[in-house]
Each structure stands twice: as structure tokens, then as C-alpha cells.
Structure 1
Amino acid sequence: MDRSRISKPLVLLLFFPLLALAQYTDVINSNRPGRAVSAYAVGRNVIQAEVGLVYEQQDDATLNSDSNIFGTDISLRYGLLFETLEIKYEGSFINQNITYTDLGTDETRTDFSRNRLGLKFLVFDPFKNPENNKPNLYSWRANNVFQLKNLIPAVSVYAGATFNLGDNPFYVGDPIASPRAAIATQSRLSPRFVLISNIAYDRIGTDFPEWSYAVSLSHSFRDPKWSIFVENQGIKSDRYSDMLLRTGVAYLISPNFQADFHLGSGFKNTPSRIFAVLGFSYRLDLHKDKLVAIEDQKGGVNGKIKKNASKKKPKKGRKKKKDKIDF
């Protein structure tokens, strides 16, 4: 028997689960480091926490002030109802100590600089149909270099609200809750490069609505436990506007635990910003695959196999005549 006839289908079967389960992955799918958000959900029944410890220095040339900020970033994610939906809480609680050089006075501000809750739903996934994305069994290069089709992104939409509880010194006059909407895209440029982009409209209906974007490019090394990223974020509001640049590294300690570190800065001096963040992500994996019989799947496994297609129909044609034997 020809071994190549066996090995090729075997390799194909090994790749198919990775393509079919684009939402849930065997290793943790974290939005850290950085602020750009993945288009994919964590997976049904997965509970995930992403935490960061923040130190930041701000100097404001207009107010002639210096400040130090210590804080915590936290994101809680849960795969709700089905694979493409997740509910997510994001919060940043900070303590800012400000010194006004001209006045010789100090001020302390403590509250949430970010406090929001919402739902994210995947509306388009280019890897949903394995038939269009199965690997090339004859070319390693074809599977590992950039192709134009890799630019087609997965797309998710987000709807939620930003909350302002009590007398928040960072958002004076804002209502208790204001709507927030966002779109996230994610493209797998190659097996080692992933491009993520976000655009969001926050604090809708308030006196200071806010537009923002984030573009992040990640690269994994030959040792897949290590990865690096670079990210650009822009914020536009009458209250605060700036462009931020971040870069850092992440390390996969175990399939459910990731550590990360990144540095960043702004481009303005009102205020100037330099910050460092040390973080980790952990998930409680309660995910279970839903098994569906091939004959009950829509279009079959690869989108082409029809129901009961395995039942061969008899070929039409003339019946073979039996030889007549004369005695």
C-alpha cells in the first residue's frame, strides 16, 4: 500500500480541527499586552481574567505640573451562550498624585479612569469554512508566507456602556452611564504575524464624546511561547486627545496562563506620558466541544458533502448479458 495515500489525509485531518474551531483555542486567547481587542471570543463557558499593574509619569507643560500614577487594569471575559459571543468587563482603577510646581501644592485623585461593560459578537470569520482555508499539503512555503487572502479579517461588533460612579475627578459632569460601540478586526497575515485593529465611539451623548482607534501587530517566535507586539492608539475628544505607542513581550507559561510586560509613551506634552505595565492572563477552561454527526451537519464537514452522500447509487447502463451456453 502507498504510504503517501495515508499520510496526506491524516495531515489534513489534523489541521481541520484548528480551522473549524477558530473561536476556541487550545491555549489562552488574551487581549494583553496592549489595549487592542481581538475579534474572537474566548469560547463558550470559558472564564478569563486579564490583569495589569501600571506605573505612569505625566508632566503637563500648560499647567506646569508633575504627577505619578499607580493603578490596576482588569478585564473579565466570559464566553456566553455560544462560541461567537462574550460578555466583557474592563476597568482601570488608578491613584494619581499631582504636584503643581508654580503653586507649590499637591493634589490626589483616586477613581476609575476606565469602567465599562459590554457584549462582543463575531459577525464574520474567514476561517469558518475549512474548505477555503485548508493547508497546502505539497508546499511548506504556501502555508507560511503572506498571501492576499490573509488580509481578509475576522470582524466583531461591540455594544455596551461606560459607567461613572459617584464624583469621579477624571470625568466631572458625566452621567452615570453612557453608551459605547466598537468594531474589532483581526487578520492572520502569516502563521507568526497577526494584525488587529479597533475603532470605538465612547461616552455617546455626553458633553465629551470620545473617538478612539488601536492598531496592533503581533509576532510569535520559533519558540511559540514568546511573542512581541507593537501598537498605536489614537484618542480624540474635547477633554483629551493624544497618540500613544506601545511595545512589549508576552510569555506563555502554560496553556491557561500568560505573563506580559510592555512600555509606552504619548506624543504630546499636555500632558506627556511614559508608562510601564506588568500583567498576566489566566483562564478557567470549562469549554466542551459540541459534537454533531456528519449527516446532520449543514453541507457536511467541508461544505460540499451532502447528506447521505456516502450512499452510492447504482450506475445506470446496460446490464451485462450472461453468456449463453449451448449443449
Structure 2
Amino acid sequence: MFKTNLLALTTVFLFSFTGFSQYTDVINSNRPGRSVSAYAVGKGVVQAEFGLSFEQQDHSKLFTESNIYGADFAFRYGLLFETLELKWEGTYQHQNLTFTQTGTDQSLTDFGRNRIGLKFLVFDPFKDPQANKPNLYSWRANHKFQFKNLLPAVSVYAGANVLLGDNPFYVGDPTISPRAMVATQSRLTPRMVLISNIAYDRIGTDFPEWSYLISISHAFRNPKWSVFIENQGINSDRYSDFLFRSGVAHLLNENFQVDVHFGASFKNTPSRIFGTAGFSYRLDFHKDAPIKAIEDQKANQNGGAIKKNAMKKAKKKKKKGNGAEDIDLGPSKKQLRKKRKADKKKKKDSGVIEF
């Protein structure tokens, strides 16, 4: 939830987050805002994020005024691994544009964003749950700021922008253009998360775009509520800007979150004021890994592969009847016959006559 603050809360308070699973008991949404968390939704999880937006946009040099109505969407799926996520996201918008000097109007309708890609977690500082256990003797130790928490989780993203037909917002761009991104996530305190994104977009087009996003989220004492602030910078020959966003999110249940946020730009070419309200919902088909697989992974992570093999050999030896704890079923018939023959021979050699 709320830029994955719930992920952080679950990590710190519930410790449901392990070195071989990113799955959490509560929804992990990228809403509100536009920043992307480093973590995936979890294998087998299907998640939808949706919002409705309105924007007032005026351009002082082009002498235009416009109202923009839009719908944001994102569909996320935990694919193959806990660390891998497939995502399709976009914004479909309608812009009513007025040229103030001439009084003429124009309407533009198409995708402002439409892209698909894969995100993969390459580094996770919480991979070893033993190294991140809570201090059972100190509340302060668990809640104070610690420099080790600044070490971020890191994921990489590769995808593409897709234009359907002649898009009036990206005139001259090819149908498909690559996109790459690096996302990081750090826990500043048990209730505060820092997320950063650096993206290189529309690679190979006439107007490639660099952008960054920095987002800080804070959960209240009631962890179902959180707030965030976000800064986005965009640099391109087509469009450059410096945007600010802030909003709030509320968790209705473990699979359903609602949110609202507002934002604005810091310039007048164009000036932008906007607001968005939306929700996130997931279908949870996640299955926990089998206990044996978990034990094997823990053994390998702790360097216990040799010990594990030795234990397997000991179990085999035990099954053959060499274990100290074997159940005594008594001698077999063949062993009894051999024992009788040996006893008879012994008595015969000693001169004892058996009747």
C-alpha cells in the first residue's frame, strides 16, 4: 500500500517477508503517485490499480488553456518467480484545448502513456531474515533511525512504449520505443519508506526522455492510513518539467486500497494543477513454497549443503538397521538357523552330548 508502506510495516512488525518470497499479507500498491517500488507483487498475484484524474493546464508562450480528463490504469502479475513482475500501465486522456488569441478550440484523445515491461529484483537487503530480526529487549532499538536501513532494495525494469495509430500527443514517434528504469527502496524508519526511480524513456526516438522520481511515504499509528510526498523531474526536448505530488491512502482490507492525491508544476510552460482518486485491488493466488524447499534453501543460504548431505546419508544408514534408534524386530529365521548350528558345534567341541 501507499508506495508500499504496508510492505515496510509487514516487514518490520509482522516479518512475513523472507529471503525467498516478496509476497506480503497485505496489498503492495504503487498508488498513489507515479513512483514504482522495488518489490514485485509476489508469484501468482494478479493486481489492478485504477484512477480517475482531472488537470488544468495553461501554456503562457503558446497562449493555450486546456482541461484534461483521464483514466490511469496498471495491471501487475507475479510471473514465474517471486522477484519477477509483468506490468502493463497507461493513461487514456481527453484534452479540450483552447487557443486564447484566436478563440479556436481543439480536442485531443489518446493514450498519454501506454507501456508494458518486466521488473526484476536484483538486490534485497532483507534477504536474510535472521539479520533483520527485531530486538526483543528494546523498543527504541526497533524504532530509531539506523544507517543500515538506508541500504536499498534495487530492481531493474525493461519495457516499451506502444503507440496505437496516430497519437496526437507523440507526433512522429515510432509505434514501439524502448524504456529502461532502475528503482530503489529504503526503509528510513519502521513507518517511513524512501523510493527513487531513474528512467530513460522513448529510447531511439527524436525526443528521448530522462526522468527521476523521489517519494517518501509515512504510515500513521493506525497503519491503514498513510501520506506521501513526491517529486518528479522530466528532461526532454519535447517536454521538461518539475512536478510535486502529495496525497493519502487508506487500506480497506488486505486486498483493497483507496487513495487520492493532488499535484502541480513549478513553471508556466505549461502550468499544471491536477488531482487523482483511485483504488488498488488484488486477486491473491499466491501459494507458499513447500516446507522441504524452504528448509533446503535455508540450508544452502547458511552454507549447510555438506551437513544436509551428511544427514541424508545418516537417514539411509538408519533405514538399513544401523541407527542407534532403530526398532528391534528380533533376529531373522536365517540368523536363528546359523545360531543353532554354531551352538551345536560349540557343544560338540567341548564334549557335551546333547539329547
Tell me the TM-score range normalised by the shorter chain: 0.7 to 0.9
1:8-57 residue CA offsets vs partner (Å, 9 max, x unmatched): xxxxxx95544446611100000000000000000001000000101000
Q: Match for residue 223 of structure 2?
A: 224
Question: How big is the alpha-carbon RMSD for the aligned residues of Structure 1 and Structure 2?
Answer: 2.0
Does the alignment pair 1:182 with 2:143? no
Instruction: Output the CA distance in 1 between the equivalents of 2:294 and 2:279.
Output: 43
Does the alignment pair 1:286 with 2:292? no
The 8 Å contact of residues 215 and 231 in structure 2, kept in 1 or not, is answered as: yes
Which consecutive unaligned segments of at least 5 residues does structure 1 have? 1-13, 314-327
Q: Match for residue 161 of structure 2?
A: 162
Does the alignment pair 1:62 with 2:56? no
The 8 Å contact of residues 236 and 242 in structure 1, kept in 2 or not, is answered as: yes
Instruction: Output the CA distance in 2 between the equivalents of 1:176 and 1:224.
Output: 43
For 1:104-253, list aligned pairs within 5 A: 104-253=103-252
SS at match of 1:161: strand
SS at match of 1:297: helix
| Richer in helix (by share) | 2
The 8 Å contact of residues 156 and 185 in structure 1, kept in 2 or not, is answered as: yes
Instruction: Output the CA distance in 1 between the equivalents of 2:309 and 2:147.
Output: 34
1:169-214 residue CA offsets vs partner (Å, 9 max, x unmatched): 0000000000000000000111100000000001000000000110
SS at match of 1:109: strand
Instruction: Output the CA distance in 2 between the equivalents of 1:51 and 1:280.
Output: 6
1:208-230 residue CA offsets vs partner (Å, 9 max, x unmatched): 00001100000000000000000
Does the alignment pair 1:272 with 2:271? yes
Instruction: Output the CA distance in 2 between the equivalents of 1:295 and 1:126.
Output: 19
Q: Match for residue 263 of structure 1?
A: 262
Per the TM alignment, residue 300 of structure 1 is displaced from its structure 2 partner at its CA by 2.8
Instruction: Output the CA distance in 2 between the equivalents of 1:64 and 1:120.
Output: 40
**For residues 294 and 269 of structure 1, do their structure 2 counterparts lie closer, same or farther at Cα, with a shift above 3 Å needed?**
closer
Instruction: Output the CA distance in 2 between the equivalents of 1:133 and 1:262.
Output: 33
The 8 Å contact of residues 22 and 127 in structure 1, kept in 2 or not, is answered as: no
Q: Which is higher, the Rg of structure 1 or of structure 2? A: 2
Aligned residues: 299
Instruction: Output the CA distance in 1 between the equivalents of 2:310 and 2:174.
Output: 62
**For residues 160 and 183 of structure 1, do their structure 2 counterparts lie closer, same or farther at Cα, with a shift above 3 Å needed?**
same
Per the TM alignment, residue 65 of structure 1 is displaced from its structure 2 partner at its CA by 1.1
Per the TM alignment, residue 294 of structure 1 is displaced from its structure 2 partner at its CA by 7.4
SS at match of 2:23: coil
TM-score by length of 1: 0.87
TM-score by length of 2: 0.81
The 8 Å contact of residues 263 and 275 in structure 1, kept in 2 or not, is answered as: yes
Which consecutive unaligned segments of at least 5 residues does structure 2 have? 1-12, 315-355
Q: Match for residue 37 of structure 2?
A: 38
Instruction: Output the CA distance in 2 between the equivalents of 1:247 and 1:258.
Output: 17
The 8 Å contact of residues 16 and 25 in structure 2, kept in 1 or not, is answered as: no
Identity across matched positions, percent: 66
Instruction: Output the CA distance in 1 between the equivalents of 2:294 and 2:49.
Output: 40
SS at match of 1:165: coil
Q: Match for residue 316 of structure 1?
A: none
